[in-house]
Amino acid sequence: MSYDISQLRKFVTPEIIFGAGARKTVANYATTFGAKKVLLVSDPGVQAVGWVVDVEESLQAQGIDYVLFTQVSANPRTEEVMHGAEVYRAAGCNVIVAIGGGSPIDCAKAIGIAVAHDRHILEFEGVDTIRAPIPPLICIPTTAGTSADVSQFVIISDQQEKVKFSIISKAVVPDVSLIDPETTSTMDPFLSACTGVDAMVHAIEAFVSTGSGPMTDAHALEAMRLLNGNLVKMIQSPQDIALREQVMLGSLQAGLAFSNAILGAVHAMSHSLGGFLDLPHGLCNAILVEHVVAFNFDSAPDRFKVIAQTLGIDIRGLSTPQVKQRLVQHLIELKQAVGFQQTLAMHGVSNSDLRMLSLHAMDDPCILTNPRESSLADVEVVYAEAL
């Protein structure tokens, strides 16, 4: 009996503990991994609002030694990764715990790669480049959007080259993700918007990705429904823990979808843009999303129609071009409702930058699963539309 290998789909996920207070169970899981000393990775912002203390207290209560590493930028940098690896080795750590948004979690993953191979993190750019298992990794996300805590992605900034590069491997899927909606209560409206839009783009891109499958589709559609119905309300009512839980669940579902289906041109272009300008990742996505959806629509019209319906758009009686227009408009309105009206030009991008940005986007692995095959000229045109 023959089979088509291109139709096979894998699905990887950490052990997930979801719910208020999940962060306080971290020592139980560290003990399971035989933790002698933990490298606790975070950043100054997360430390300042108090979430790191909860993790420290949990470890202290079970007599687990740890060293704290918080020298992580908003877009984690190669030199920070290598410094963290030095701290890990010098302290004799054997488990990594990350608490924060995508930046500390990505940095923690990259530290794990560097210490497992005793090589520079720049050597691992690309897909399936990792040859040794990384140390046990426990993640506690404090934002509802990046889903680094469940994904097989690592995104690191190379400031010398002014680019972000991707490492994609199931070897960097965390062992345990403690997803606690309470930790998102300290996000300001801008960060809530950035991460929420990022999660929505994860879900949309995963659903139309050439790597999508039945399991990722289910998660992607549920993520869109949850985020569309709750993100704006959460930003308007930041103390409502029930809304936070729904958005956090939407982020989780989107993460499970995109980690396994991979992404598309929004993220390829966003990684290039974020590396160039050192802008928040969600903001880059927000600037680009409707332009990429318009570019991709005709390559997967049936899938985009399902997206439109999932986002509450009544498509009965509409022609395909009308559905496209309504979907693009809905995304613009959603962005505006959470406070995004930026263009590339507002951040200093000019026509002379577009070729360089496009070249870097074409090198990003996310472009490979975009539903519409994209040339350098195509990407340049989409960037130009976002000016």
- pLDDT per residue as tens, the chain (387 positions): 667 877 888 899 999 999 999 999 999 999 999 999 999 999 999 999 999 999 999 999 999 999 999 999 999 999 999 999 999 999 999 999 999 999 999 999 999 999 999 999 999 999 999 999 999 999 999 999 999 999 999 999 998 988 899 999 999 999 999 999 999 999 999 999 999 999 999 999 999 999 999 999 999 999 999 999 999 999 999 999 999 999 999 999 999 999 999 999 999 999 999 999 989 999 999 999 999 999 999 999 999 999 999 999 999 999 999 999 999 999 999 999 999 999 999 999 999 999 999 999 999 999 999 999 999 999 999 999 999
| DSSP characters over 159-177 | TTTTEEEEEE-GGGS-SEE
Q: How many domains does the chain have?
A: 2
Question: What distance in Å separates the CA atoms of residue 254 and residue 73, rounded to the nearest whole number?
Answer: 24
Asked whether residue 149 is domain-assigned, the answer is: yes
* Residue 115 structural domain: 7-184
User: Residue 131 CB: number of other CB atoms within 10 A?
Assistant: 12
Unique residue bearing structure tokens 């041109």: 265
All residues at 6 or more sequence positions from 336 whose CB lies less than 8 Å from its CB, including other chains: none
User: Residue 238 CB: number of other CB atoms within 10 A?
Assistant: 15
Q: Is the pTM of this model over 0.75?
A: yes
State phi, psi for 43 to the nearest 5 degrees: -140, 165
DSSP structure class, residue 6: G
* Residue 355: CATH number of its domain: 1.20.1090.10
Sequence letter at residue 102: G
Judgement on whether residues 137 and 199 belong to the same structural domain of the protein:
no
Judgement on whether residues 195 and 178 belong to the same structural domain of the protein:
no
3-state secondary structure of 354: helix
Query: In the structure encoding, which two tokens stand for residue 309, read together?
Result: 């319906």
CB 146 within 8 A of CB 109: no
Asked whether residue 1 is domain-assigned, the answer is: no
Judgement on whether residues 195 and 135 belong to the same structural domain of the protein:
no
Judgement on whether residues 353 and 211 belong to the same structural domain of the protein:
yes
Question: What distance in Å separates the CA atoms of residue 170 and residue 203, rounded to the nearest whole number?
Answer: 19
